[in-house]
């Protein structure tokens, strides 16, 4: 008894508060003149889910990359379970029990789940023993954490949600006790995200420590125990999730009060701008993606298209934008559009008054290696204002870009900077400025705020509503139900290539839309 007491006295601090799973002290890192992390201190308690939020470019990813050994901190210490640990590379991070699930998965597409899990962690020169060992472990892990995936399925055949499970399994197979997830729900449907959260809760119950990096306040509130807020490379606050609220967190993130709701006047409906009749789209593999849908959009109206991604929305946008082939009838301002022939290209559609903010700004909306001004001309190189005789008037494009950047508050307002050097929100503003300022009759806009920070979301939503109030028609495709609700004047839900129904946002709720998104009609219920 006395011995215990004595020992207890010595280790009081350690006993009452066991060493945190991760402790960072004074971490600083700069890239050239940019200070990405400034004197960061954080303690992550064992067996908790710790959220890190911050806008794009706040330094979250840099910090995690330091923890995972991709970057070396200029200054500072890392303590894992109370021990000073040096993490020069990812191998060392794995050895220290850290696993990382990246936003963009690092999987070999044409390998099976099993092969991906084992890749880089083979137990010997021969593959077969590793694989059978892994198979056993995989089954065990799957049962334990609701992480069921077919070990023999190829990655390319799996849904995004399942691919993410493989990433988690990879980390667990490497015996990770600390799991870092970078923006894990960015690509998931609401249902998949819920499943992921159940998995994470299961992992926490088993004593694993989880760091969740996100910019979605809802997720932070829903699942984390503690939350740290980063802004401009600094850790501005760490609070218990139970003791905070979304408004406070948003303010901490952005540094000012943020409007989470969109203010908008009732729609003033005009004539139909776009009429779609019996539109079907068959993709390159012969699969019918859009199955005979009908809808119309009127001037001064935002039509929100909700749905789990992969239910035909992308294909619908592509056909409307001119670079997907389809059958059926589309009328724009009363004129029938060419859906298959020589006039079914994006250039012609722009001339017909359709502008398009594509879902994937990295692969379509922007050319990342090009400077901002060259991106402003993307799709509009034949604009007479951008040309002088046979030559392009590059100076005019640069000047136009500078003005657009100012009006859309793009930072930094430098037309000579390559697109890849802007943050996600500013990249999206470059695309939006280009498309909205063309004053189109119809704006197609896909996932306008994917990977965009809160401050910019507010601005982007305002711009979309402003365009509507000028009497333009807008089709908004988004997987974020919140966004659909706050912007749309009318909501159409797509499932498996069909429009399951149209609703007025005032007369419906997330639950009903969720059912429609899952392909269930509400009539019987």
Binding site for another protein (CB under 8 A): 30-34, 321-323, 345-350, 356, 358, 360, 363-370, 374, 377-379, 381-382, 387, 390-392, 394, 418, 421
| DSSP-assigned letters across all residues of 289-339 | EEEEEEEEEETT-EEEEE--TTSSHHHHHHHHHTSS--EEEEEETTEEPPS
Of the pair 79, 396, the CB lying nearest another protein is at: 396
Q: Partners of 391 in the beta sheet?
A: 388
Of the pair 282, 392, the CB lying nearest another protein is at: 392
Distance between CA atoms of residues 83 and 75, nearest Å: 17
Question: How many residues make up the chain in this entry?
Answer: 525
Q: How far is the CB of 124 from another protein (least distance, A)?
A: 32
Determine the straight-line distance between the first and last CA of the chain, rounded to whole angstroms: 65
Written as six digits, the tokens of 323 are 């670079």
**SS3 for 502?**
strand
Q: How far is the CB of 391 from another protein (least distance, A)?
A: 5
Q: Partners of 75 in the beta sheet?
A: 28
Written as six digits, the tokens of 159 are 């849904």
Residue 266 DSSP symbol: P
Of the pair 394, 504, the CB lying nearest another protein is at: 394
Of the pair 103, 348, the CB lying nearest another protein is at: 348
Angle ∠(478,422,257) on CA atoms, nearest 5: 65
Quick one: which of 432, 510, 494, 419 has its CA closest to 466?
432
Residue 371 DSSP symbol: B
| Alpha carbon 133 to its chain's center | 35
Q: How far is the CB of 183 from another protein (least distance, A)?
A: 22
| Alpha carbon 423 to its chain's center | 13
Of the pair 248, 387, the CB lying nearest another protein is at: 387
Of the pair 151, 446, the CB lying nearest another protein is at: 446
Residue partners of 466: CB distance under 8 A and separation at least 6: none
Q: How far is the CB of 323 from another protein (least distance, A)?
A: 5
Q: How far is the CB of 127 from another protein (least distance, A)?
A: 30
Of the pair 295, 386, the CB lying nearest another protein is at: 386
How many Cβ atoms are within 10 Å of 111's Cβ, its own excluded?
A: 15
| Alpha carbon 14 to its chain's center | 39
Q: How far is the CB of 315 from another protein (least distance, A)?
A: 14
Q: How far is the CB of 237 from another protein (least distance, A)?
A: 28
Q: Are 379 and 438 in contact (CB under 8 A)?
A: no
Of the pair 258, 418, the CB lying nearest another protein is at: 418
Distance between CA atoms of residues 129 and 149, nearest Å: 20
Q: How far is the CB of 375 from another protein (least distance, A)?
A: 9
Q: How far is the CB of 34 from another protein (least distance, A)?
A: 7
Of the pair 1, 390, the CB lying nearest another protein is at: 390
């Amino acid at each position: 008894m006395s011995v215990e007491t004595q020992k207890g006295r010595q280790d009081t601090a350690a006993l009452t508060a066991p060493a945190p799973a991760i402790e960072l002290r004074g971490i600083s890192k700069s890239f050239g003149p940019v200070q990405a992390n400034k004197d960061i201190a954080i303690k992550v308690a064992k067996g908790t889910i710790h959220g890190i939020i911050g806008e794009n470019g706040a330094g979250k990813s840099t910090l995690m990359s330091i923890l995972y050994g991709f970057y070396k901190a200029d200054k500072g210490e890392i303590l894992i379970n109370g021990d000073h640990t040096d993490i020069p590379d990812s191998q060392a991070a794995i050895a220290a029990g850290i696993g990382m699930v990246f936003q963009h998965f690092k999987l070999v597409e044409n390998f099976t789940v099993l092969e991906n899990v084992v890749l880089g962690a083979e137990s010997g020169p021969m593959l077969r023993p590793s694989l059978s060992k892994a198979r056993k472990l995989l089954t065990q892990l799957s049962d334990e954490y609701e992480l069921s995936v077919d070990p023999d399925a190829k990655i390319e055949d799996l849904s995004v949600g399942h691919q993410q499970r493989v990433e988690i399994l990879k980390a667990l197979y490497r015996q990770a006790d600390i799991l870092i997830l970078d923006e894990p729900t960015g690509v998931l449907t609401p249902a998949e995200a819920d499943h992921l959260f159940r998995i994470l809760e299961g992992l926490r119950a088993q004593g694993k420590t989880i760091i969740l990096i996100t910019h979605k306040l809802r997720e932070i509130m829903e699942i984390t125990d503690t939350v740290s807020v980063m802004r401009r490379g600094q850790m501005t606050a760490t609070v218990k999730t139970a003791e905070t609220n979304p408004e406070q967190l948003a303010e901490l993130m952005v540094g000012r009060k943020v409007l989470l709701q969109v203010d908008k006047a009732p729609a003033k409906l005009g004539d139909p701008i776009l009429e779609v009749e019996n539109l079907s789209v068959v993709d390159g593999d012969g699969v019918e993606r859009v199955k005979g849908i009908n809808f119309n959009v009127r001037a001064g109206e935002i039509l929100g298209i909700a749905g789990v991604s992969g239910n035909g929305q992308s294909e619908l946008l592509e056909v409307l934008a001119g670079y997907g082939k389809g059958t059926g009838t589309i009328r724009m301002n009363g004129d029938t559009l060419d859906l298959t022939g020589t006039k079914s290209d994006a250039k012609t559609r722009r001339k017909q008054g359709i502008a398009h903010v594509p879902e994937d700004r990295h692969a379509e909306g922007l050319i990342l290696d090009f400077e901002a001004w060259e991106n402003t001309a993307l799709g509009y190189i034949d604009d007479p204002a951008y040309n002088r005789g046979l030559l392009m008037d590059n100076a005019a494009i640069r000047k136009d870009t500078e003005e657009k950047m100012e009006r859309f508050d793009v930072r930094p307002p430098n037309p000579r900077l390559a697109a890849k050097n802007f943050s996600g929100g500013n990249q999206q503003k470059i695309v939006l400025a280009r498309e909205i300022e063309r004053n189109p009759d119809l704006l197609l806009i896909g996932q306008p705020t994917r990977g965009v920070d809160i401050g910019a979301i507010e601005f982007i939503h305002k711009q979309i509503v402003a365009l509507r109030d000028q009497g333009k028609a807008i089709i908004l495709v988004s997987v974020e139900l919140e966004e659909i609700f706050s912007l749309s004047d009318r909501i159409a839900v797509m499932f498996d290539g069909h429009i399951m129904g149209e609703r007025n946002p005032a007369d419906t709720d997330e639950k009903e839309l969720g059912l429609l998104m899952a392909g269930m009609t509400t009539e019987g219920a």
